[in-house]
Chain A
């Protein structure tokens, strides 16, 4: 006969497990929501046009984060400008040219490992490598970020290169196209989405980076053009957040920056999803 008590026990267990998992998801969601609401609640009221459009002044004792915003833009641009050709070039070589699959495997593994290293180590190395020779400046920070983001760009490009159908390459070779022409006209257009996704991820990472920049780019809040800015020390938004909160106790400003960074992060993730959707649609055509 059917064992009633055993089946009751099983049912009880099922209910218990479901409840436990519901609890986990509830806690997770609550934490995220709390963080969002808390940071936005503390930060948004402190965001004023004056804060966004001025530089800090000790005379008037006012704080403005325009220099930090600009520094962030400069460092993002400089980093991408250097890391893109390097990373995409390396990816193309590894996927399209390299014939020794063993070496390729080792490089890929090394790149994966690199992207998992704590950023403070990059900071330390960047300080010794760049800041010691060129001084503490945004450029030194950018170069450090280049090393940090190189694996990301390389890997996302590589993954995307692998999705370009082999039949495209064959078709082009069959028409008498040389290697570089095949890469430039058939392979690269097919992996633009990977490059863009890599860029967006890198921008996110640069925005969020503080440890590596503390060592290399400095803390200054001077208002500069892009050339002078890169040659001078400067704080990005994230570093500024640290400085204002930790060293000056300006929590209002810190939270304002936090809110801005958070919104930017959401926007970046949104952009990444959009890009991927756009290209997925084009590919399925």
Chain B
């Protein structure tokens, strides 16, 4: 299996505070990679660097090399908007726009120049089907998305991200704001999605990492401590700190 993202010696500062130290990682294609670690360890920061969402935060400085399919994502030739089209994102709190369900899904495609109604209809249906929310929404596409439940909203946000046909989907603790039933539906969905997409998700929940992911990266204090197959990380961690964390000695 080939690697879709490769990161070399990447460090990140918020002003004077170094949030990430010399991170090196190769993320395999069409698989689920989970980032775990205690709060403030830099896992979300790292995730947001991968599609340059950190550009929005003033005072962030990044060194090192991040390549997506071999291209340096910080190079001048890379249009950040196209990068984010390739590398989509789902946020911690469901954040549908205050518009109809249809317009939410169509937002991305429209952004990238698709105006044909028939084509949009197809994309919307496919995205909603892929996110396993079509049956619940097909009769109320014109209704405001804010009227849905939290779990539905999050699946809508996943559908919205899928509608621009990304290669990679970054998920920042996508279930932390949801109830257990919604959580398990999203977990099932994520496992299905890896057939077509590469998924990188930050999770606070170690069981979730075990249930869902193929690979796990453990972050601590801005360092990537260990990265391996999920089964190996949780059965025979090589680093003492990883072992302490997954056995619940801290964090």
Q: Chain B contacts of A177 at CB under 8 A?
A: 81, 107-108, 111
Tell me if A176 and B164 are in contact (CB < 8 A).
yes
Tell me if A175 and B88 are in contact (CB < 8 A).
yes
- Does B98 reach chain A (CB closer than 8 Å)? yes
**Given the complex of chains A and B, what is the CA–CA distance between A176 and B160 in angstroms?**
12
- Does A171 reach chain B (CB closer than 8 Å)? yes
- Does A186 reach chain B (CB closer than 8 Å)? yes
Tell me if B58 and A171 are in contact (CB < 8 A).
no
- Does B67 reach chain A (CB closer than 8 Å)? no
Q: Count the A-B residue pairs with Cβ separation under 8 angstroms: how many?
A: 67
**Given the complex of chains A and B, what is the CA–CA distance between A177 and B88 in angstroms?**
11
- Does B13 reach chain A (CB closer than 8 Å)? no
Q: Chain B contacts of A190 at CB under 8 A?
A: 98
- Does A116 reach chain B (CB closer than 8 Å)? no
**Given the complex of chains A and B, what is the CA–CA distance between A168 and B147 in angstroms?**
16
Nearest residue in B to A179 (C-beta to C-beta)?
A: B81
**Given the complex of chains A and B, what is the CA–CA distance between A186 and B98 in angstroms?**
8
**Given the complex of chains A and B, what is the CA–CA distance between A167 and B111 in angstroms?**
18
Nearest residue in B to A282 (C-beta to C-beta)?
A: B98
Cβ proximity bits B92-115 to A, threshold 8 Å, 1 near / 0 not:
010111100000000110011000
Residue in contact with A174 in the complex, picked from B58, B84, B98, CB distance below 8 Å:
B84
Tell me if B89 and A174 are in contact (CB < 8 A).
yes
Provided the pairs A99-B58, A178-B81 are in contact, do residues A172 and B88 lie with their beta carbons within 8 angstroms?
A: no
Nearest first, the 7 A-B pairs at minimum CB distance are A176-B85, A167-B95, A174-B89, A175-B108, A176-B84, A176-B81, A171-B95
13 A-B pairs, CB-CB below 8 angstroms? A170-B53, A172-B97, A173-B53, A173-B56, A174-B88, A174-B89, A175-B88, A175-B107, A175-B160, A176-B81, A176-B85, A176-B108, A177-B81
